[in-house]
Amino acid sequence: MPETMRAVDIKGGKGPVSSLHITDIPKPSISGNQALVKIKAFGLNRMDLLQREGQYPVPPGAPKTLGVEFSGIIEEVGAKPEGGFKKGDEVFGLAYGGAYAEYIAVSTKMLVHKPKELTWEQCAGIPETWITATQALYLISKFQPGKSILWHAGASSVSIAGIQLSVADKASAVFATARQDEKCEFVTKHLGATACFNTKKSTWVDEVKKATDGKGVDIIIDFIGAQYFQDNLNAIAKDGVIVNLGFMGGTKLPEGTDISAFVIKRCTYVGSALRSRDEEYQGQLRDQLVEHALPRFVDGRFKIFVEKVLAWEDIQEAHKMLEENRTKGKVICTIS
């Protein structure tokens, strides 16, 4: 009889918030460079909502259990652990799935040693969001100091990370959008953005043009998709790059969409995702995070904003918070 563990499951395989419940499933086994980690806390992401509803394809071989970021203690390592990880190490990391559980089997390439200065809850909120922001900023958009940048959904966890990275690495201007005055104030006051535009109160494209003397912005990081496609083309500067990471505003473009900016402005529109990338690619981003961001977490230059910490028994409430856009930062669940 295999060993079991508790994990969050979805009744019927997919469904609404009410379908989430904790049950017993087989405990994972490890091999090679993997570690078995006893989870202390895990972070929530919007992809979890889509996966719960059956709208997010899980990478081949990934566990069906939700969750990609976590913190915890290594209980066992395989025969060839990377980076000297060993039993008893306090770590946090990124996985292809399986973090809503008591234990997770994960490649040691995707683990980071937990600094004593950070809590379990803070560390569980780092991997997915900060690595996604790192990927979008440096690998995809090819950001360089002196470029201007706009982050949509400015109070979302990825944009919170990205805005801090952009400011720290000397963007000429860092703009953001949000749909609430409170979130706009948070983005400028606490993250250091140049300006944040409330999309319910003003036309953000006009505001960007005004703030850049008509030039537009060099880089746009977008999670909205079809709803902002035309506006992004209108707001991008010549030779600018638009990076699409999601489609909260749909995937079907309306009739009459004008794509002339691709030629007139020589702009680039590129889509990307992190979870579907191979272990080698993700490991390189892990290394960049450790080198570039981890020291700044430790000394406080970078802030990890945790909106709410809940016991994992309250997983339905945690998902509701994300669905209702009630957050400025991470929702974290702890396992006791």
Residue-wise pLDDT tens digits, 170-198: 999 999 999 999 999 999 999 999 999 99
Look at residue 179 in the predicted model and tell me its pLDDT. 92
Look at residue 41 in the predicted model and tell me its pLDDT. 98
Residue-wise pLDDT tens digits, 141-179: 999 999 999 999 999 999 999 999 999 999 999 999 999
pLDDT band at 255 (very low <50, low <70, confident <90, very high): very high
Residue-wise pLDDT tens digits, 12-68: 999 999 999 999 999 999 989 999 999 999 999 999 999 999 988 888 889 999 999
CA dist., res. 89 & res. 76, Å (int): 10
What 3-state DSSP class applies to 330?
Answer: strand
**Residues paired with 196 in a beta bridge:** 176
Residue 182 structure tokens: 């409170």
- What pTM was estimated for this model as a whole? 0.92
pLDDT band at 2 (very low <50, low <70, confident <90, very high): low
91 pLDDT above the threshold of 70: yes
pLDDT band at 275 (very low <50, low <70, confident <90, very high): confident
CA dist., res. 243 & res. 65, Å (int): 28
CB 89 within 8 A of CB 10: no
Count of alpha carbons within 13 Å of 187, Cβ hemisphere only? Answer: 33
Look at residue 153 in the predicted model and tell me its pLDDT. 94
CA dist., res. 331 & res. 13, Å (int): 23
213 pLDDT above the threshold of 70: yes
Residue-wise pLDDT tens digits, 101-111: 999 999 999 99
1 pLDDT above the threshold of 60: no
pLDDT band at 309 (very low <50, low <70, confident <90, very high): very high
User: C-alpha dihedral over 79, 84, 86, 91, to 10 degrees?
Assistant: -120
Q: Domains in the chain and their CATH numbers?
A: 4-126+275-334 (3.90.180.10), 130-271 (3.40.50.720)
The residue ranking higher by pLDDT, 275 or 87, is 87
For the chain, give the mean pLDDT.
95
Beta-carbon count within 10 A of 132 CB:
25
CA dist., res. 177 & res. 248, Å (int): 14
